[in-house]
Structure 1
Amino acid sequence: MFVGYIERRRSPLDPVLRSLVSARIAQLCHCEFCIDITSMTLAARSGAGQAAGGRRLAQQYAVQRKERLALAYAEAATQTPPAVDDALRSAMAAHFGARALTELTALIGLQNLSARFNAAMAIPAQGLCQIPTSSSQNKE
């Protein structure tokens, strides 16, 4: 139900941005299943065919300041404990506004819950999107 709300058409967040943030969190949490499904969704929404793995994901899609900020915010909020500082929070508020920032924060929390749960349960990738092996990701 909550996922449906975040993924609705009238969301203040662009679908590609939502997918980009979700894919990055999946990577940070080392969730094979989440990387698989969020990469597939990102590739479909962005028209990229296959999403890149590792840090290339951010470099490939984050061409706008708004996307780079959203990724920085997602990375900071995903740390344990969360490491969102006042400067980042102010930049986010200036670029997104209260409604979009609240929704982005909810998305980050939901994706963290999902990715951490699935990683803890060792839910494997399902072959939905081509994922580079860990040896190729370490070369980045």
Structure 2
Amino acid sequence: MSRIDPKPLSAYPWFIRWFLGRQRRVYGAVLAPSWLWGRLPGTFLGMLVLLSMFQRRSYPVDTALRSLVSIRIAQLNGCGFCVDLNAHNFLKARGEESKAKDVAQWRDSELFSARERAALGWAEAVTLTCADIESDAIDRLRNEFSEDEITALTAWIGFQNMSAKFNAALGAEEHGFCALPGKGHQQDV
């Protein structure tokens, strides 16, 4: 249960009510984070615009890799909703259940490519020790990513950290998107 209850639907501005209604039609319910973000209509609208920019086909980091990185960020931040949603997005993009289940053990698993390992390592560094990242970390990323891709990946990681921390802090519950066994809060580092 979220730590902050939704306001009555009529208390949200019309454009937020429209968005919540659309979620209800698409997912069968309003997703818990939307009730929370809806309390800040302008911020929520800005976040949705930013999310739409990340989801463009021309974005330098593809959907499957963004979803994989997002699962790991969600695990590290303890956001069950985000693990649920991003595992669903990864399975939809790639259909690789074994990889989705093994994200917390990416260092020891042979399922991950060098590019995925670089992205997951960078996601962990930015999430856990951002102020202590060594300058050669970018040089290691350059083996797999262009500078534009590194910038795009870092922007995505920052966005996902904001979202996961917000949802975890306010207790946004899972929706049940993904029936992956053991998708809970794996925080192995």
Q: TM-score range by the shorter chain?
A: 0.7 to 0.9
With over 3 angstroms needed to count, the CA separation of the structure-2 counterparts of 1:35 and 1:134, relative to structure 1, is closer
For the pair shown, the structure with the greater C-alpha radius of gyration is: 2
> For residue 115 of structure 1, what is the amino acid of its counterpart?
A
The equivalences for 1:4-83 within 5 A come to 4-48=52-96, 51-52=100-101, 55-56=104-105, 59=109, 61-62=111-112, 64-83=113-132
Q: Distance in 2 between matches of 1:42 and 1:130?
A: 13
CA shift at 1:61, angstroms?
4.8
| TM-score normalized with structure 2 length | 0.64
Cα distance in 1 for residues equivalent to 2:111 and 2:54: 21
Distance (Å, rounded) in 2 between the aligned partners of 1:28 and 1:81: 14
**C-alpha contact (below 8 Å) 1:31/1:118 kept by paired residues:** yes
Report deviation, 1:105: 0.5
Alignment RMSD (CA, Å):
2.4
Q: Distance in 2 between matches of 1:121 and 1:80?
A: 23
Instruction: Look up the SS of the partner of 1:13 in the other structure.
Output: coil
The match for 2:174 among 114, 121, 125 is: 125
Q: Partner residue of 2:133?
A: 84
TM-score norm. by structure 1 comes to 0.84
4+ residue runs of structure 1 moved beyond 2 angstroms? 48-51, 56-61, 80-84
Match of 1:2 in 2: 50
Q: Taking structure 1 as reference, are residues 81 and 47 closer, same or farther at Cα in structure 2, changes over 3 Å only?
A: closer
Structure 1 counterpart of 2:149, which letter? A
Higher relative contact order (CA 8 A, sep 6+): 1
Q: Sequence identity of aligned pairs in percent? A: 35
Alpha-carbon separation, structure 2, partners of 1:25 and 1:88: 18
- One-letter code of the match for 1:123? A
